[in-house]
Structure 1
Amino acid sequence: MKWIAYLLILTGIITMCYPKLINYYYTNKENHLLQSWDHPPTKQAVSSYKKLGPVLTETKNETKPVRKDPLPNSMLGTLEIKRIHLRLPIVEGASLSNLKVAAGHVSGTSPIGKEGNAAIAAHRSYTYGKQFNRLTEVKTGDLITIETKKEKLIYRMIAKKIVKPADLSVLHSSKNENIITLITCHPFKHPTHRYIVKAKLIEERLLTSKGSR
């Protein structure tokens, strides 16, 4: 009769553990689905983002000349935020030389205007212009406009936050998502973090001619 007792004990253990096992199973399924939906950043994007550290945190006493200015034909477009009276060029690559004269598209992130998350970095310091100096004044709901040679892209700000430089979550994107992530240093003096603004594409207009706006 011992086997009956053992069977009853085993049945009791299974009965107690069953809810946890089911929960564990469905949690794994849920995480698997989320992973298939989320787009982690590419290796190139991660590498480019990590290189932003010394680029964004140059001291205001830096006086080294620009080694190589970006060429006019390397421009991807312009970025405009009316609330802070900002209009600046966007070039490919958030390199030291590029960010001294423009905003830089972080290589490896989604192309601007395409599905995914396009990251754009610019300085916020006394050193090289006023690019993102007033980015903290932008409010949720404000419009951010990017104009390329072919289209005018209108984004609406949806979120802002302060993150540590090693936080790669700002590069993540999801399917059917079209957003831009603006990145600069924080605070204004002696920066230790990154200030992030996210905006979602709400309108796309094709430019048929230079006069079409």
Structure 2
Amino acid sequence: MRWLAYVLITAGILTMCYPKLKSYYYTNQENQLLKSWNHPPNEQAKDNYKKLNQVFTETEKPVNPSMRSPQPNRLLGTLEIKRIHLRLPILEGASLANLKIAAGHISGTSAIGENGNAAIAAHRSYTYGKQFNRLTEVKMGDFITIATKEKALTYRMFAKDIVKPTDLSVLHSKTNENIITLITCHPFKNPTHRYIVKAKLIKIVNQ
């Protein structure tokens, strides 16, 4: 009869542990869903984001002739922020050549206007009012407008942050979320970090 006692003890232990095991199971399932909801950046986006370190630090150095001229046919549209009186062209690719004259869409991140997270980088120019040198003045709730040949997209700022250049979380995207992430160097001189502004799409008008 000793075996029966062992069976009953084991059954009792399992009965007591069942709620915890059930909770653990569903917590694990929940975490898996959250992981599928929050998409990390792909390898192309990661590589291009890391290249910003070189782009942001070489603004005063001679440009390689092969990188000297941006491609006009890569013009995606314009970015406008009325708060800081900024209107800036957006080119595809955050290269050294592109960022000398425009903002650059980081290739590998979501296309502008499509679901996901479209990352756009620009320098902080020493000329007042140029590029992203006044990005820190943009406030929560301010509107950011991107105009393409097909659409006028209005975004509302909902977050800002200062992160290390190695922090790739700023490129993460979520299913059914349509946002842009504006990226520039920080502080203005001798930058060691990135200044980040995030805005969510709230309106689309066909041109």
Task: Judge same fold: TM > 0.5, yes or no.
Answer: yes
Identity fraction in percent: 73
Pick from 62, 65, 69 the counterpart of residue 64 of structure 1: 62
Q: CA RMSD in A?
A: 2.0
Give the corresponding residue for 2:136: 136
C-alpha deviation, 1:66, in angstroms: 6.6
- Counterpart Cα distance in 1 of 2:202 and 2:88: 21
AA of the residue aligned to 2:20: K
Structure 1 equivalent of residue 117 of structure 2: 117
Q: Residue 199 of structure 1 corresponds to which residue in structure 2?
A: 199
The CA distance in 2 between the partners of 1:10 and 1:192, in whole Å, is 59
Change (3 A) 1:142 1:122: same
CA contact (8 A) 1:125 1:189 kept: no
More deviation in 97-106 or 188-197? 188-197
Work out whether residues 163 and 196 of structure 1, in 8 Å CA contact, stay in contact via their aligned partners in 2.
yes
TM-score by length of 2: 0.90
2:111 alignment partner, SS class: coil
Tell me how far 1:102 sits from its aligned partner.
0.8
Match of 1:184, SS state, is strand
Whether the aligned pair in 2 keeps the contact of 1:38 and 1:174 (CA below 8 Å) is yes
Task: Report the equivalent of 2:168.
Answer: 168
Alpha-carbon distance, 1:96 to partner: 1.1
Instruction: Give the number of aligned pairs.
Output: 205
Does residue 1:108 correspond to 2:108, yes or no?
Answer: yes
Q: Which runs of 5+ in 2 are unaligned?
A: none
**1:49-60 alignment to 2 at 5 Å?**
49-58=49-58
Work out whether 1:6 is the aligned partner of 2:10: no
Match of 1:170, SS? Answer: helix
Deviation at 1:82, TM superposition (A): 0.6
Specify the alignment match of 2:185 in structure 1.
185
Q: CA deviation at 1:125?
A: 4.7
User: For the residues of structure 2 that align with 1:75 and 1:121, how far apart are their CA atoms?
Assistant: 14
Deviation, 1:182, is: 0.3
1:114 maps to amino acid: E
SS of residue paired to 1:23: helix
After superposition, what is the alpha-carbon deviation per residue over 1:82-121, rounded to whole angstroms, capped at 9, x for unaligned? 1011111100000111111110000011111111111000
Q: Cα distance, 1:24 vs. partner?
A: 1.4
State the TM-score, normalized to the length of structure 1: 0.88
CA contact (8 A) 1:57 1:185 kept: no
